[in-house]
Structure 1
């Protein structure tokens, strides 16, 4: 009962209502909270409110108030299209089911200063991804052009619950850290053509007692995995784990601050749940096999961020962060382990081979009056995905973002922060087995909006 309640709370914190890819820096949002998001995701060396727990917790000490509570909402919408370069057929990720986007992802946090110590706790949507291509596009055709009527879709949700602390050692140096509980849940419907299955077997990436069974099916045209709960809340497989980070901030001069933080690689259990493996035969039709499935060792990467902020005038602030995200260590393969209820197993390694990612984030803010502050930013990242391992259902490709936002002081004790971020359209093609059968071209752009309300008392 406790596990069911925890999973329900995690899903509720990441409620969805139609299809979208929540990811921007691969599976991560490009800044946590409206202040950071509006300033290009910068957060290493200036106060961004409670969202700073997930970048550099040392900056919690620089908040203007002794106690704050923050509630917020992220809204993410995307424009994703996939084209078959051989035939010209195309499909958009759109609303075909109950568990896709736009994502409405709530945020909540509390911080309190106790002398030189500041503590905080929160719950944030860290990121994810999602697509919904339906049952009738070219992605649902098996080898030989057979229409299977089977879905191709995805939804990955990431929830981070940090317990953070910051301590001011002296007027110049502040240190901080956090311990995070993490939850992730995955829905996936994926069709692999017979040529993709054969490529995986030939490369030693498909093993187990069900491999010869599949090979012996007459007229095999493909295999389809379904591990999806078709509900507003719920994931086919999910798991809990831990992560954490350490950070420091150095006030070089009254106008200039430097900051650095290291986010540790997550330690999340294998995601587990029920699944159906359906073999598609040109002779006998669909052959569904029920069973249990695990997505093994699906982790979030370590990250190093170094940044600075400089107050040009009392009104004008400039910020810059440089990050290195170590995707290569965690995203070599997607490891799938299927155990049929009637006996037999199938283990698959779907190649990903991500590169480490370097990100430059730039931001600025200008205080117009005691009530109004305006913000803007930009974010530029290297591409972590390789075109030869691109999946249509995992198009986490955007690398360039522009953002704007503002803060409005409703009263001396409360304010509203807003940010809008646009991911510029990214295009990537793949014509390589085993991750695609048809040569595909994926186009992906995205709009994110964030609204926070902060109350001090």
Structure 2
């Protein structure tokens, strides 16, 4: 390794440390963030293209996590920090009833509606003509939904907050001028908070058969769980069959994780006492003082096939097909002391995202971007609820890039997600009161993303 390369790596290390600090600061407002709850690990340009093309565009630092093979064609060190805000909206139309068929009291607010920020950061540097190394901090999974504890659907969830932060290291190897491969490892930290109101009187009536009055003794169940680190791997390849075309394929493994923590009960003393009787009628044991809690939450494997075609010096077009193995997410079970407290079937199905988009270079400073896409939902009427009222999304992206100097570039991306109405029909487990919900969620979402890039 020559002296100039060592100097470049030293400067890169200094700027990488600064970018890590910025990314950490951006992550702080999240607390625990997370939609279903997989997030594209893109920069502003990627959001503007509706996530088309993956990381095949020249010197795109998101390749460090998305497809490390693309790093092998970088022509110099690069560092990038992205701040993205997502604002979903979900308004329910329909009815909630308790276990006796009476309407549930309360109002019906939008449980989302606020921009939630999250960061992505990556740096990469060629260490020889054929090898490039990189590292990244990404948020591949996240969700925040929060409703007033007095809303009509409180027995189906009041607050859900989930965030996975992945730290990855990867390497790209250029086999020749047309073909490269890449591999990487990641450590993923996940934490989640799930709050629900329990219709304790309804639960007691359902479990025991005695005529308790539903909705008369509400108890709030708060669950806080986390996993410090779980590990996975990823790999990719890139092939340049012509001077204008690039084809990439990448695969990310499932990350197996069991989240552990505590649960607590708050609210009506009568309701807590009624829940204490549950074991007498075949129900689980809930300690009024709270107790340990655990839940298995494996994040799924996914794979992406990407294509980029450079039409000329000004115009490029790209496409992506991405598969996610959501069928591995069969149920969400909360346990305490080895005993199942609540078991919610999910029955997710595998999903696909399809997108096409591109860049138009107006001049040496300005680039315009746009894209459209279709993102299938893995959820269904069995599992869809107020926590994740997910539906298939039609994506429209727009954006602009500005080359401020030889080294600095900024990108702004916007994406609107058209979802429309999704059907919901659920009956709660007996322990949560056995109430029902029936209706539709009218959903949409907005994404705004800003990226700063420094090339050495």
Shorter chain as denominator, the TM-score bin is 0.7 to 0.9
CA deviation map 1:145-187 (0-9, x unaligned): xxxxxx7111111211110111110011010121011111101
**Quick one: which of 166, 171, 176 aligns to 1:165?**
171
| Alignment of 1:333 onto 2:331 | yes
| Alignment of 1:37 onto 2:47 | yes
Kindly indicate which of the two structures has a greater share of residues assigned to helix. 2
Question: Which residues in structure 2 correspond to 1:290-309 (within 5 Å)?
Answer: 290-309=289-308
Cα separation, partners in 2 of 1:18 and 1:81, compared to 1, 3 Å: farther
Distance 1:380 1:174 in 2: 29
Cα separation, partners in 2 of 1:49 and 1:90, compared to 1, 3 Å: same
Distance 1:253 1:54 in 2: 25
Which shifted more, 288-297 or 381-390? 288-297
CA deviation map 1:324-381 (0-9, x unaligned): 110001x100021124xxxx94433211110100111111111111111111111202
**Quick one: which of 188, 199, 205 aligns to 2:194?**
188
Distance 2:92 2:25 in 1: 30
Give the secondary structure class of the aligned counterpart of 1:111: strand
Distance 1:181 1:71 in 2: 19
Distance 1:355 1:412 in 2: 46
Give the secondary structure class of the aligned counterpart of 1:37: helix
Question: Which residues in structure 2 correspond to 1:301-450 (within 5 Å)?
Answer: 301-329=300-328, 331-339=329-337, 345-434=339-428, 437-450=436-449
Distance 1:443 1:432 in 2: 17
What residue number does 2:134 align with? 120
What residue number does 1:107 align with? 120
**Quick one: which of 220, 226, 230 aligns to 2:222?**
226
Cα separation, partners in 2 of 1:292 and 1:117, compared to 1, 3 Å: farther
CA deviation map 1:33-68 (0-9, x unaligned): 1222211112154346221223211112233x4111
- Give me the TM-score of the superposition, normalised by structure 2: 0.80
Distance 2:450 2:297 in 1: 30
Distance 1:13 1:271 in 2: 24
Does structure 1 retain, via aligned residues, the 8 Å contact 2:64–2:123?
no
Question: Which residues in structure 2 correspond to 1:54-203 (within 5 Å)?
Answer: 54-63=65-74, 65-85=75-95, 90-93=108-111, 102-115=115-128, 116-140=130-154, 152-193=158-199
Distance 2:116 2:50 in 1: 20
CA shift at 1:220, angstroms?
A: 7.6
Unaligned runs of 5+ in 2: 1-20, 97-102, 277-286, 430-434
Distance 1:16 1:442 in 2: 27
CA deviation map 1:191-232 (0-9, x unaligned): 354799699x9xxxxxxxxxxxx759983847642125xxxx
Distance 1:299 1:456 in 2: 36
CA shift at 1:283, angstroms?
A: 10
Give the secondary structure class of the aligned counterpart of 2:426: coil
Give the secondary structure class of the aligned counterpart of 2:29: coil
CA shift at 1:431, angstroms?
A: 2.1
CA shift at 1:291, angstroms?
A: 2.9
What residue number does 1:267 align with? 256
CA shift at 1:271, angstroms?
A: 1.1
Aligned residues: 407
Cα separation, partners in 2 of 1:51 and 1:440, compared to 1, 3 Å: same
Cα separation, partners in 2 of 1:217 and 1:11, compared to 1, 3 Å: farther
Cα separation, partners in 2 of 1:237 and 1:46, compared to 1, 3 Å: same
Does structure 2 retain, via aligned residues, the 8 Å contact 1:44–1:321?
no
Which shifted more, 295-304 or 79-88? 79-88
Give the secondary structure class of the aligned counterpart of 2:61: helix
CA shift at 1:421, angstroms?
A: 1.0
Give the secondary structure class of the aligned counterpart of 1:267: coil
Which shifted more, 245-254 or 296-305? 296-305
CA deviation map 1:98-134 (0-9, x unaligned): xxx5222123221101121111111112231111111
- Give me the TM-score of the superposition, normalised by structure 1: 0.80
